[in-house]
Amino acid sequence: MELDKTLFIESFKKRLSQKYAIDVSDATNSELYDTLCSLVKSSYSVSWRQTWKDYLKENEKQVYYFSIEFLPGKLLKSNLLNMGWYQLVIDSFKEIGIDFEQVAAVEPDMALGNGGLGRLAADFMDSLASEGYPVNGNGIRYRYGLFKQRFVNGYQVELPDEWLKTAAGNAWEIRRASKAVTVTMGGHVELVQKNGYLEPIYKDATLIKAVPYDVGIVGYHNQHVNTLRLWSAEIPEAVESCYPTIEARRQIEDITTVLYPDDSNEAGRRLRLKQEYFFVSAGVQSIIRHYKKYHETIDQISQRVAIHINDTHPAMCVAEFMRILLDEEHLSWEKAWEQTVKTMSYTNHTIMAEALETWDIPLLNEIQPRILQIVAEIDHRFVAHLAGKMDGQLIERTRIISGGKVHMAHLAVIGSHSTNGVAQLHTDLLKSDVLRDFYTLYPERFNNKTNGIALRRWLQLANPELAAIIDQKLGRNWRQNACQLQQLQQYNTDEQFLKKLAVVKLHNKQRLAKLIEERTGVTVDPTAIFDVQIKRLHAYKRQLLNLLRIIKLYLDLKENPDLAIVPRVFIFGAKAAPSYHYAKSIIKCINETAALINHDSTIQGKIKVIFLENYDVSLAEQIIPAADISEQISTASKEASGTSNMKLMLNGALTVATLDGANVEIKEQVGADNIFMFGLTKQEVYRYYQDHSYHSLDYYHHNLVIHRVLDALIDGTIPNIAAEGHEIFDSLTYLNDDYFVLRDFEDYLRIQDQVDETYRDQKKWQQMSLINIAKACHFSSDITVKKYASEIWQVRSVAQKGGVNIGYPL
């Protein structure tokens, strides 16, 4: 039934009364939130069931996107928007005296991811549903999401994220006890002959009950609802007596207790490997069980099922799929292998050596001995197949098991039909460097899929004012079809429109200034340049380069308080992995520098430094619309793609960038005149690696500016950083500055001067900003997922786009 305001208000009041036996005027925000979610869920559930029925009716090929991280943030607004209910709910709430924003704020962020990788998975889920693809997410329901960050004396402190224990809980999930499966781990395995097959006999294994919690992923105005399935580890009832000790029970429940907070860093922990096998086995078992319900034979399963391995964490999908086809379905090795390779595809997200997963053989044996046997057999056959045909050293370099370790990326490439990088430069590096040998073996498997972002969340929801003035020029069709944003370019000389853009930006900056004041007590000037760097804290992302420039500016201002610079507010948001000492030292140094600068009245407030605590999806939604400058300054070759670069340009920020990741493609889109490029190229970085001619100490000794700035880290200029200042100083000098911070420093200063100069010409600035907004549509994840669907998974869209809202159930 088409929903209108009267009907909505009536239903809302009724539901509130049914659930809580109260009136609107007596309800807390939590109760209002819960009631709204319940209404929303019962409405999209009708379409959810229908989507599933249609898949079954058409025997649709299904994709399963396996990812150990999903980082959706809040879902209420996004669901309302996609259902076509957003404005209606805001208006209705207004009418009955409810502050919608306050109700929405009750929702805890669903933070089941660390950063870019998990957020990409969430944007993909949104786009896949919105484009009507039959794609299911498969992941882990962590009881604790990514830690909450607090600063104490300038240091990062981590607090647990008890999101499920909040009053709001997870309103979106449905526990499906009836779809539970059993995951077998540990113990020993023996193969015995039985009925002509080798049958594995497990001894002393631990059985774990895997219970799925399903979250509906609502497509945009298409009545299409997909499923994100998150698995939780529980103690199986039937054998409860087998787990008498508290300790044994805890070990099972621990598997899905906490998200590992390491981003791009492989810790090699036993529990992490358990997590990986747990969600892989649960997911693959349920896929095959479902498939068998509707198909008599399994030897063509790859025609109806595709499994995507998002980074190597789910790479055991290859072995688990083989295990079931061999041990339970009794396919021959050759047939099983053919189906496995055809079913699997893999995305690589990094070239950083420390992030490439390897596992000790004994550990894998301990976690799942049968999986180790299968991996060993895959490895053995791989070697045997190539022996004599390929250079022996190449075989050694590419095999899965070597040096006592299992190489997960090798398993993923060998066991799948597609390997993709996440930006053109990154894919080129995979081919020429990190996975070069595999590219020699399987050139046809390699392809690029440049990342993308969901314009619905990052423009429509995060920046409604900007979306509204775009509507005034283009109508509302761009909301359905991102490409149309390009047409904005024609307003490049429309002074009125450019002014409107400036007004919207100012409003967003005023809002952020208010938030900054509330959270930090620091007042910032909304007419200053808001210079933003938001991402995980990592040496290669070079927050340090930004900090050194801030110190330089401060020293200059101290020397000459009348220095003519455009006032700037430097805004940081970043969490460091709890065990990443160096990254935490950088946080401390930024915080102490901020304290010094923000309280020094002699510089007349010309610069301010704000490090906002606990950067997460919700904070990103508030910072990004207010940014003037987007800092994308990683060492060339290190950032696989980046996605905040896309979100910030979409919101009109201008990018200061190295030629890294997707920055290269952003530059191609907007043209060199509309972006501030600086720094070493990837080729130059690699040349330094080869000829060892970089000596960072020389920069300290011979460059007066650098000398002065680095000294400020260790001579007390910045108080309270004795240890951290020295640590950073040493890394940049005696330890030869791994990420070429000093090498790129001067060029960074040069480009930042250019930023100032450009900002003084406001018309030019707005024109550049407009082009960035218009061209950002090339980075819509709607476009990206279409390429995954047609070029990797071979699935079709099954839903019509076109303004059909989710109705109200009778």
Smallest distance from the beta carbon of 535 to ligand GPK, in angstroms?
Answer: 8
Smallest distance from the beta carbon of 161 to ligand GPK, in angstroms?
Answer: 18
DSSP state of 132: T
Q: How many CB atoms lie within 10 A of CB 529?
A: 23
Assess contact for 214 and 395: CB atoms under 8 A: no
Helix (H, G, I), strand (E, B) or coil at 268: coil
Smallest distance from the beta carbon of 462 to ligand GPK, in angstroms?
Answer: 18
Q: Across-strand partners of 308?
A: 65, 345
- In the complex with ligand GPK, the residue whose CB is nearer, 146 or 596, is 146
- In the complex with ligand GPK, the residue whose CB is nearer, 311 or 782, is 311
Cα four-point dihedral sign 187, 191, 195, 197: positive
Q: Across-strand partners of 271?
A: none
* CA distance linking residue 583 with residue 575, whole number of Å: 9
Smallest distance from the beta carbon of 319 to ligand GPK, in angstroms?
Answer: 21
Say which of 141, 410, 541, 638 is annotated catalytic.
541
Best CA proximity match to 87, nearest among 5, 201, 168, 165: 5
Smallest distance from the beta carbon of 661 to ligand GPK, in angstroms?
Answer: 5
* CA distance linking residue 313 with residue 754, whole number of Å: 43
Say which of 340, 350, 398, 643 is annotated catalytic.
643
Q: What angle do CA 31, 36, 40 make, to 5 degrees?
A: 150
- In the complex with ligand GPK, the residue whose CB is nearer, 98 or 316, is 316
* CA distance linking residue 195 with residue 137, whole number of Å: 37
Q: Which residue has the tokens 């007042």?
A: 523
* CA distance linking residue 588 with residue 393, whole number of Å: 46
Q: Which residue has the tokens 């895959």?
A: 378
Interface residues with ligand GPK (CB under 6 A)? 114-117, 120, 263-264, 311, 349-350, 355, 422, 451, 639-643, 661
Say which of 370, 407, 535, 682 is annotated catalytic.
535
- In the complex with ligand GPK, the residue whose CB is nearer, 84 or 116, is 116
Give yes or no: 535 in active site: yes
Residue nearest to ligand GPK according to CB distances in the complex: 116
β strands within 350-445, DSSP E: 358-360, 401-402, 405-407, 419-421
Give yes or no: 541 in active site: yes
Smallest distance from the beta carbon of 443 to ligand GPK, in angstroms?
Answer: 23
- In the complex with ligand GPK, the residue whose CB is nearer, 117 or 624, is 117
* CA distance linking residue 74 with residue 281, whole number of Å: 28
* CA distance linking residue 51 with residue 62, whole number of Å: 12
* CA distance linking residue 247 with residue 733, whole number of Å: 49
- In the complex with ligand GPK, the residue whose CB is nearer, 118 or 134, is 118
Smallest distance from the beta carbon of 62 to ligand GPK, in angstroms?
Answer: 23
In angstroms, the Cα distances linking 732 to 378, 545, 735 are 44, 11, 6
Best CA proximity match to 29, nearest among 110, 124, 88, 97: 97
Give yes or no: 708 in active site: no
Run of H or E including 179? none
Smallest distance from the beta carbon of 565 to ligand GPK, in angstroms?
Answer: 31
Say which of 74, 77, 410, 536 is annotated catalytic.
536
* CA distance linking residue 298 with residue 300, whole number of Å: 6
Residues whose CB falls within 8 Å of the CB of residue 332, separated by 6 or more in sequence, listed in order:
none
Q: Are strands 529-534 and 446-448 parallel, antiparallel or unpaired?
A: unpaired
- In the complex with ligand GPK, the residue whose CB is nearer, 146 or 325, is 146
- In the complex with ligand GPK, the residue whose CB is nearer, 115 or 186, is 115
- In the complex with ligand GPK, the residue whose CB is nearer, 106 or 434, is 434
Smallest distance from the beta carbon of 408 to ligand GPK, in angstroms?
Answer: 12
Best CA proximity match to 176, nearest among 216, 213, 225: 213
Say which of 209, 229, 308, 349 is annotated catalytic.
349
Give yes or no: 643 in active site: yes
Give the active site residues: 349, 535-536, 541, 643, 647
